[in-house]
Amino acid sequence: MSELTHSERPQRWDVPFDEDMTLADVDQVLAAKPFCDIDQSRFPQAIPLRGIIENEARILKYRAGDLVVRQGDYGNSAFFVIKGRVRVVVPLPNNELPESVLGRKLSKSKSVWESIAQVWKNPVVAEFRAKVQASSGQGEGDVLARGEGENTTVFLQDIPGVIKNHETVTIAQGEFFGEIAALGRTPRTATIFADEDGTELLEIKWQGLRDIRLFTPSIKQHIDKLYRQRSLNVQLGATAIFAHLNEAELQQVANRTEFHSIGSFDWHASYKKISQKSAAERLDDESLIYEEGGYPDSLVIIRAGFARVSVLKGNGHRTVGYISKGQSFGFREIAHNWRSEEPVTYQHSLRALGYVDILVVPSDIIQQYVLEKMSPTDLPAQFEMEEDQPGIDENMDAVALSSEHLSKTDVIEFMVENRYINGTATMIVDLDRCTRCDDCVRACASAHGNNPRFVRQGKHISNLMVAHACMHCQDPVCMIGCPTGAIHRQTGEGQVVINDLTCIGCSTCANSCPYENIRMVEVRSEQGAYIRDQDSQKPIVKATKCDLCAEQIGGPACQNACPHGALVRLDMKNPERLMDWISQ
Amino acid sequence: MSMTRKRRRMLGITTVFTFAVMLVLWQFDHVQRLEDTSLLTGYLLITMVTVLALFNLRKRFSFLPLGTAEGWLQVHIYLGCMAVFLFFMHIELHWPTGVIETLLAILFLCVAVSGVLGLILSRVIPSRLTARGGNVDFEQIPELRRKIKWKAEEIAAESIKLTGKSTIADFYVDRLQMFFIASNYFFSKHILGSKHHIEPLYTRIQATRRYLNDEENEIMNQLESLLSEKDMLDFQHSWQWVLKVWLFLHIPLSSALLVLGSFHGLLAFHFLGD
């Protein structure tokens, strides 16, 4: 076999979103409002509107009651109603649909007795399942699903009941929905289902939506207006810097705030290739947001994703920290310049780690609404002119590490390079304390029907190892694309869990997880035989992973089981806890 | 995580020390009054041993909110130390004379010594394992060894095809093959820290290199690398085995101690009135 040495460069649209999208479909979409009003000459030749619709979109057909998106889901696409209408369950307190009808797992802890009984009730057979699919909907709370494979949809049976008992609004033909969550990589804010049979939706991938927004001022204005109306004030108000502002002041700040998406949205797909590169090459690949030495005219607040904070050292950059959702960059510099006659420049560079969504607030706004109202004691320390390696916004809960501790820098570099900073419950093992007794693995197995849900192996730096256990990421890319919503986050910022009954074994989540922390397993009967699909005779597979012992009353069994304190689950948003743990 | 390990250790040592001093004073007071304390110390001791043994049972219930195993181990260690003091108070620093009592004393000391040994091993070995090979799964070591052996044999056989000479293959069969086949080099080598099993092989490799051209030297480098890898796996296997096996000593002895101790307690209770 001859070795492949030359090939055409892969192109953006080599593989369309839906290969069944016909030219007639594209014509139909382009003839509908608002697409027919879009000035196609504004689009560059390489990215025509027709091309976007043909390659970045697909038409989905729904029957009445089919769930399109669920509140809390992550998605990377928006929807446009071509035909029919959809109904939104208004996200109000006590107005949510029950988790069970959304195809999610009910978050119910075991009782003390059920917990103890696991010791003798756990099956002997690995990956035993008494039931492998959602039932046909005979019982109360049963999940209803139709379709096959990736086209499986969960549906609501009692639509009149839902409409009667929940506040809902409709979205009619010609309207968009889901665009904010798609562009901002934020959870869907509401559950939406098809309201009538024959509803047709155009699903547009975020890349296509981004370009349409970029080259169509009316759509850009529409999306930006929606974002400002729905999310911006809430997000600014939740930021520590603006927490003391009243509504009117917050509105003033919001009016001057810009928002940008930087970097690659699909970072998880390319991250493994990028990790093979040298440190300098990796840094070059990361989109630079602000450069060390630039004039600090803006404060950056991270809305979603992560950014690397680095400082020049020799011919390279040293990572001194990272910031994530709600944290800021540049505050100390702005505060310094506000009260000092010797202005400083940005003391660090800020780069997008994969993908980052930022809010940019001009410095004069910060001065007017924040600094002038702050008591002198709350202000961040001024920079000393002889200071070699100033820290970053420590007072604003950003992550900063003292530069003189090389070992800390090493740890931070390791966590950033491998994107472990994404984890809210990252499993870290101190190999200098771990006796390899596997009590953690056994405890995990006993809490999950004798099936361990993590592997005590993983990348390590010196004596610190990050094991292959689900990290319950801040940015849970595994949740994107699950056709039935089986993988989901429990209420609020809860654990990422899988509903075994609605998992169809498509492996989308396992393939998306950049950390290889989701395993597909072939399920078995009580006698140990593989359970097979009636038609294809292939074994039925299910996605499995750590659920942080969501059903157990004692919390994560792995951490509780380690007699030597060698294993810990840590939220990487606060690396100081990791440092404290290491230095114990 | 709220208390540093150093502070925790200080607290533990202080508690044990305080307990020991109080115990001695209490014993001294009772001796002064010619009172027999053995019954009370005996029952306290068997209670302590029972609590110590519960640690092993707790491991089966890690999913229950029973406190962390780390906390339990700390209690186990310091309570174990207190039990040793109590044991010597109980026997009043005289070696027992009866058969059961002698057996019981031997069992207690064996449990205590194996416990201390386990503690030392669990503190010393992990960092040594990390320094040589990082995190190797014990169960996978035999398979990894097999793969290394196959790879080494393949390299040696291929060398004949590549170089047209059998120098390396002959050297492999004469000098290296046994090392790759041997499943372990335990006490005599890794546990005692000896290099006698591997140093002569490295020396022979160096000596053989003078007969090799560049291409053959490159092949020899590969074999040398596999040699180091196999040695590392043997090291990992030896020490991980030690870490696992000491528990098989400590736990059965503890169980025997608990049973015999309870029997001894029952006898003492039975003859209480005599």
Chain B interface residues facing chain A, Cβ-Cβ under 8 Å?
1, 4-5, 59-70, 72-73, 121-122, 125-127, 129-130, 134-135, 137-138, 240, 243-244, 247
Domain finish residue from A371, A387, A416? A416
Residues B125 and B251 in one domain: yes
* B214-241 tens-digit pLDDT: 999 999 999 999 999 999 999 999 899 9
- Residue A74 placed within a domain: yes
Domain enclosing residue A531, as ranges = 419-583
ipTM summary value: 0.88
pLDDT value for A515: 93
Q: How far is B59 from chain A (nearest CA, A)?
A: 7
- How far apart CA A131 and CA A123 sit, in angstroms, is 14
Whether residue A483 is found in the same domain as residue A560:
yes
CATH number of the domain encompassing residue A302: 2.60.120.10
Do A293 and A358 sit in the same domain of this protein? yes
| Shortest alpha-carbon distance between residue A433 and chain B (Å) | 6
Question: Is A106 a member of any domain?
Answer: no
Question: Is the four-CA dihedral A219, A222, A223, A224 of positive or negative sign?
Answer: positive
Specify whether B14 is located in the same domain as B76: yes
Which residues in B lie closer than 8 A to residue A463 (C-beta atoms)?
A: 127, 130
B259 Cβ contact partners less than 8 Å away, ≥ 6 residues apart: none
- Domain-embedded: residue A185: yes
Of A119, A435, A566, the CB nearest to B125: A435
Residues B204 and B177 in one domain: yes
Of A416, A449, A483, the domain-final residue: A416
Query: Are B260 and B230 in the same domain?
Result: no
Domain check: are A353 and A404 in the same one? Answer: yes
- The reply to whether A89 falls in a domain is yes
Task: Find out whether the peptide bond into A514 is cis, omega within 30 degrees of 0.
Answer: no
Residues B92 and B183 placed together within one structural domain of the fold: no
Residues A509 and A406 in one domain: no
Are A471 and A517 spatial neighbours (Cβ–Cβ below 8 Å)? yes
Is residue B190 domain-shared with residue B67, that is, in the same domain? no
Position B150 pLDDT exceeds 80: yes
Which pair of structure tokens corresponds to residue A81?
């109603």
Considering the domain architecture, whether residues B124 and B181 belong to the same structural domain is answered as no
Residue span of the structural domain in which B145 resides: 138-241
Q: Encoding tokens for residue A379? A: 């202000």
B93-105 residue pLDDT tens: 899 988 999 999 9
Q: In chain B, how many domains are there?
A: 2
In CATH, what number is assigned to the domain containing residue A429? 3.30.70.20
Core vs surface per residue B118-131: b (16+ CB within 10 A) or e: beebbeebbeebbe
Judge whether A88 lies within some domain: yes
Helix axes B214-270, B199-209, angle to 10 degrees: 180
- Given an 8 Å threshold on Cβ–Cβ distance, is A119 in contact with B61? yes
Q: What residues of A are in contact with residue B70 (Cβ under 8 Å)?
A: 562-565
Chain B contact present for A566, CB below 8 A: yes
What is the structure's pLDDT at A388? Answer: 47
The answer to whether residues A337 and A466 belong to one domain is no
Please indicate, yes or no, whether residues A231 and A378 belong to a single structural domain of this protein.
Answer: yes
Q: Are residues A15 and A42 in the same domain?
A: yes
> Which of B1, B63, B74, B235 has the most A C-beta neighbours within 10 Å, making it the best mutation to test the interface with A?
B63
pLDDT at A390: 46
Q: Count how many residues are written for chain A.
A: 584
For residues A398 and A442, membership in a common domain is answered with no
Apex CA A167: angle with CA A161 and CA A170, to 5°? 95
Residue A1: CB partners within 8 Å, gap ≥ 6? Answer: none
Do B119 and B177 fall within a single domain?
no
A513, A557: one domain: yes
Residues A349 and A486 in one domain: no
Dihedral pair phi/psi, residue A547, rounded to 5°: -115, 15
A380 and A461 share one domain: no
**Residues A237, A276: one domain?**
yes
Answer whether residue A195 is part of any domain: yes
Q: What is the DSSP letter of A277?
A: S
Residue range B257-273: mean pLDDT, rounded: 89
* Same domain as B149, residue B120: no
Domain count of the fold of chain A: 3
Looking at the fold, whether B90 and B213 belong to one and the same domain comes out as no
- Pair B228, B100 in one domain: no
Q: What is the pLDDT of residue B142?
A: 92
Q: What is the pLDDT along chain A (584 residues), one digit of tens a residue?
A: 445 556 565 566 777 888 888 999 999 899 888 888 889 999 998 889 999 999 989 999 999 989 898 888 877 789 999 999 999 998 888 888 887 777 776 667 788 888 888 888 899 999 999 888 765 444 444 566 776 666 677 788 788 888 888 888 889 888 888 888 887 767 888 899 999 899 999 999 877 888 888 889 888 888 877 777 777 887 888 888 888 888 888 889 998 998 888 876 667 767 777 777 777 788 888 889 999 999 999 999 998 889 999 998 887 888 888 998 888 999 999 999 998 888 999 999 999 988 888 999 999 999 999 998 888 888 888 887 655 444 444 433 344 443 334 467 888 889 998 899 999 999 999 999 999 999 999 999 999 999 999 999 999 998 899 999 999 998 888 887 787 778 888 765 678 999 898 888 999 899 989 999 999 999 999 999 999 988 888 999 999 999 999 889 988 999 999 999 999 999 998 888 888 888 87
How near does any CA of chain B get to the CA of A518, in Å? 20
Contact A456 B135 (CB under 8 A): yes
Q: For an interface test with B, give the residue of A435, A551, A581 to mutate (most B CBs within 10 A).
A: A435
Domain closes at, from A385, A416, A447:
A416
Are B218 and B253 members of one domain? no
